[in-house]
């Protein structure tokens, strides 16, 4: 392991905004802040918003700056990624931000039923071949239902046509309440919309390559049990992920590469 990563891990251990609880620790004694996040960590009664697979925490920190009346928690398994957002939040003296280093599959070990108001899923791996690992699949959606308060919301931002199509089909098949749905976020919302003003490093790369960003928000409800949508296996895969990012909506890049080889 490189010295830079070791340095980051050491800083994470001493950052009060970062909580690292291995599965063995959770299994042995549980998580002490479960059901107590507002009282014991944030020391307020403001709503809790999660970002799942938060990466470097750009969205977690960006949302926290714009909405000081909400508490934001970024969740990711990669400590070297979390380090960046956690360091920024600590240096800036932010009091409505936290990061948890854990697997998203352990979500219910960290949050009590109804403790969360909103969930953001920003640019996840679409998991085209593994529906059980898909963060907008029904398996994870049932987890979200347990931790979300009644009327709680889920937001998805993605560059993936596959994941966007799947999530739309899943919500429609289960008659979930759809709040907003756009296949081209930056062409649909007004330029001053706060959702547009926060861009992750990878989102900007995709925009620079001509990809459209999709946004989908909905309420997963509480009942009945969710079903996988029929026809999901026939959704066209994201072919651009087999090449350089951007190919699927920038076919001219293929032509440029072909010309370069001649």
**205 secondary structure, DSSP code:** H
Peptide bond into 39 cis (omega under 30): no
How far apart, in whole angstroms, are the C-alpha atoms of residue 110 and residue 139?
Answer: 18
Nearest C-alpha neighbor of 197 from the set 145, 157, 243: 157
For residue 94, what are the CA distances in angstroms to 24, 174, 186? 30, 39, 29
Measured between alpha carbons, how far is 223 from 176 in angstroms, rounded to an integer?
10
Long-range contacts of 191-197 (CB under 8 A, 24+ apart): 194/66, 195/157, 197/62, 197/66
Residue 189 contacts residue 196 (beta carbons within 8 Å) = yes
Helix 79-91 vs helix 3-13: crossing angle, to nearest 10? 50
Q: Where are the alpha helices (DSSP H) in the chain?
A: 3-13, 23-29, 58-66, 79-91, 107-110, 138-147, 161-173, 185-188, 201-208, 251-261
- Burial label, 164 (beta-carbon count in 10 A; 0-12, 13-18, 19+): buried
**45 classed as catalytic:** no
Catalytic residue among 40, 92, 125, 208: 125
Catalytic residue ranges:
125
């Amino acid at each position: 392991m490189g010295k830079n990563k070791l340095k980051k891990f050491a800083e994470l251990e001493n950052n009060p905004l970062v909580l690292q609880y291995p599965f063995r620790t959770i299994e042995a004694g549980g998580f002490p802040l479960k059901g107590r996040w507002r009282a014991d960590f944030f020391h307020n009664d403001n709503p809790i918003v999660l970002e799942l697979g938060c990466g470097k925490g750009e969205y977690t920190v960006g949302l926290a700056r714009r909405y000081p009346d909400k508490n934001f928690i970024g969740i990711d398994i990669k400590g070297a990624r979390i380090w960046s957002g956690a360091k920024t939040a600590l240096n800036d003296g932010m009091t409505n931000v936290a990061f948890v280093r854990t697997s998203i599959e352990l979500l219910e070990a960290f949050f009590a039923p109804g403790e969360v108001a909103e969930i953001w899923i920003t640019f996840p791996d679409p998991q085209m071949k593994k529906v059980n690992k898909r963060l907008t699949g029904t398996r994870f959606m049932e987890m979200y239902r347990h931790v979300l308060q009644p009327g709680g919301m889920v937001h998805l931002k993605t560059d993936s046509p596959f994941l966007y199509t799947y999530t739309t089909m899943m919500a429609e098949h289960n008659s979930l309440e759809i709040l907003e749905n756009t296949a081209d976020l930056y062409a649909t919302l007004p330029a001053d919309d706060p959702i547009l003003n926060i861009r992750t490093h990878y989102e900007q790369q995709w925009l620079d390559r001509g990809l459209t960003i999709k946004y989908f928000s909905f309420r997963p409800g509480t009942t009945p049990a969710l079903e996988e949508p029929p026809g999901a296996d026939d959704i066209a895969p994201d072919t651009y992920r087999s090449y350089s990012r951007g190919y699927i909506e920038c076919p001219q890049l293929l032509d440029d590469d072909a010309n370069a080889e001649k």
